[in-house]
């Protein structure tokens, strides 16, 4: 029998993930700070909970996809938080991007309650969420992952077990850092004076065919349009932003 799923976080990623779960025949209860974001899912058959606590009390499989660590801590441990009612023997999968330290904190809290936890951040963008083609980076117990695979398979096409709790978040932050480096270098290579390559379109095509290809808009956007993009913040500032979740938990992610 399919587990009753509770989904917290209905942003660009959460809503299409929820829609795919409904299409696959799962019973879905949802909650979001802005309740109106649940309208599309409710119209498709989801139930709207009054609080994270109510949602957790009625879910056998809890899934969170929220914006940042403070938001996650609020829905878990704040007033009417999910941790107050999360069911023993349930599975909890967090797909937000947070610090490895916070993932381990959640894992410890779940273990005290007899809940099986996976940190499972994703990559693939909202287009991947809509198509059910996300990639999950998993930290946690292999047996728990095995039991979670039917649900993950509705939302994603691949998942990788990377180690104990916190490992999924470590790899996600490392990937974000690599992406920041690529995005920082691309405009410089495309718009340098004098140009690195006199045949701009050939440069774009060759890059997209190589290992430096970036999935998403930079992969297909003509070089002439890339030159119109506003300057990016200094790389050091973006690296600092990647470490922001760690500062909020007083731990530097082991990148």
- Choose between 206 and 120: higher pLDDT: 120
Both 45 and 146 in one domain: the answer is yes
Whole-angstrom CA distances from 128 to 21, 44, 104, 160 are 14, 20, 27, 16
Asked, for residue 254, whether it belongs to a domain, the answer is no
Q: Are residues 19 and 145 in the same domain?
A: yes
pLDDT at 255: 41
Q: So what's the pLDDT on residue 203?
A: 57
- Is 156 in contact with 133 (CB distance < 8 Å)? yes
**56 domain residue, yes or no:** yes
pLDDT 10s digits, 158-212:
999 999 999 999 999 988 888 777 776 666 665 655 555 555 566 555 655 555 5
Same structural domain, 71 and 9: yes
What's the pLDDT score for residue 208? 59
**Which of the two residues, 190 and 42, has the higher pLDDT score?**
42
Q: What is the CATH number of the domain that holds 107?
A: 3.40.50.720
Q: Are residues 234 and 145 in the same domain?
A: no
CA-CA distance, 185 to 218, in Å (whole number)?
A: 12
What is residue 65's predicted lDDT score, i.e. its pLDDT? Answer: 98
Q: Kindly indicate the confidence band of residue 149, based on its pLDDT and cuts at 50, 70 and 90.
A: very high
Dihedral over alpha carbons 149, 150, 152, 154 (to 10 degrees): 160
Residues 178 and 158 in one domain: no
Residues 230, 105 within the same domain: no
Do the domain assignments include residue 255? no
Same-domain status, 25 and 83: yes
Residue 179: per-residue pLDDT: 77
Residues 195 and 240 in one domain: yes
| Pair 147, 189 in one domain | no
Kindly state whether residue 253 falls inside one of the protein's structural domains.
no
Between 56 and 188, the more confident residue is 56
Query: 1: pLDDT confidence band, cut at 50, 70 and 90?
Result: confident
Q: b/e map of 215-224 (b: 16 or more CB within 10 Å)?
A: eeebeeeebe
Same-domain pairing of 145 and 229: no
Among all residues, which ones are annotated catalytic?
A: 172
Report pLDDT for 214. 56
Asked which of 148, 164, 180 is the last residue of a domain, the reply is 164
E strands within 74-214? 91-94, 116-119, 122-123, 134-140, 156-161
Contacts of 77 (CB under 8 A, 6+ apart): 83
Q: Are residues 113 and 174 in the same domain?
A: no
| Residue 212, pLDDT score | 53
Residue 191 has what pLDDT? Answer: 61
Provide the domain limits for residue 243: 170-248
Residue ending a domain, choose from 164, 186, 219:
164
Are 208 and 240 in the same domain? yes
Does residue 224 form part of some domain? yes
pLDDT at 187: 65
Q: For all residues of the chain together, what is the average pLDDT?
A: 83
Structural domain contains residue 193? yes
What's the rounded mean pLDDT across residues 224-235?
46
What sign does the dihedral 152-105-27-46 (CA atoms) show?
negative
| Number of domains within the chain | 2
Per-residue confidence band for 243, with pLDDT thresholds at 50, 70 and 90: low
pLDDT given for residue 180 in this prediction? 75
Please identify, among 130, 164, 198, the residue that sits at the C-terminal boundary of a domain. 164
């Amino acid at each position: 029998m399919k587990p009753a799923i509770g989904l917290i976080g209905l942003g660009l990623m959460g809503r299409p993930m929820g829609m795919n779960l409904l299409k696959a025949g799962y019973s879905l209860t949802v909650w979001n700070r802005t309740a109106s974001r649940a309208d599309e899912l409710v119209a498709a058959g989801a139930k709207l909970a009054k609080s994270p606590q109510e949602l957790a009390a009625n879910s056998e499989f809890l899934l969170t996809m929220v914006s940042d660590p403070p938001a996650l801590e609020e829905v878990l441990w704040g007033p009417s938080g999910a941790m107050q009612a999360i069911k023993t023997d349930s599975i909890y999968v967090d797909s937000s991007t947070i610090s490895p330290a916070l993932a381990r904190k959640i894992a410890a809290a779940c273990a005290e309650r007899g809940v099986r936890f996976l940190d499972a951040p994703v990559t693939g963008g909202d287009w991947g969420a809509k198509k059910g083609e996300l990639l999950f980076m998993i930290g946690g117990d292999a047996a728990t992952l095995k039991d979670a695979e039917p649900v993950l398979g509705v939302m994603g096409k691949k998942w990788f077990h990377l180690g104990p709790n916190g490992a999924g978040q470590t790899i996600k932050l490392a990937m974000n850092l690599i992406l920041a480096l690529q995005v920082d270098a691309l405009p410089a290579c495309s718009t340098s004076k004098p140009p690195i390559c006199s045949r701009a379109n050939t440069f774009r095509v060759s890059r997209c065919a190589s290992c430096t290809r970036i999935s998403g808009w930079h992969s297909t956007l003509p070089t002439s349009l890339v030159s119109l993009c506003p300057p990016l913040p200094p790389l050091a500032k973006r690296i600092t932003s990647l470490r922001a979740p760690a500062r909020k938990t007083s731990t530097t992610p082991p990148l």
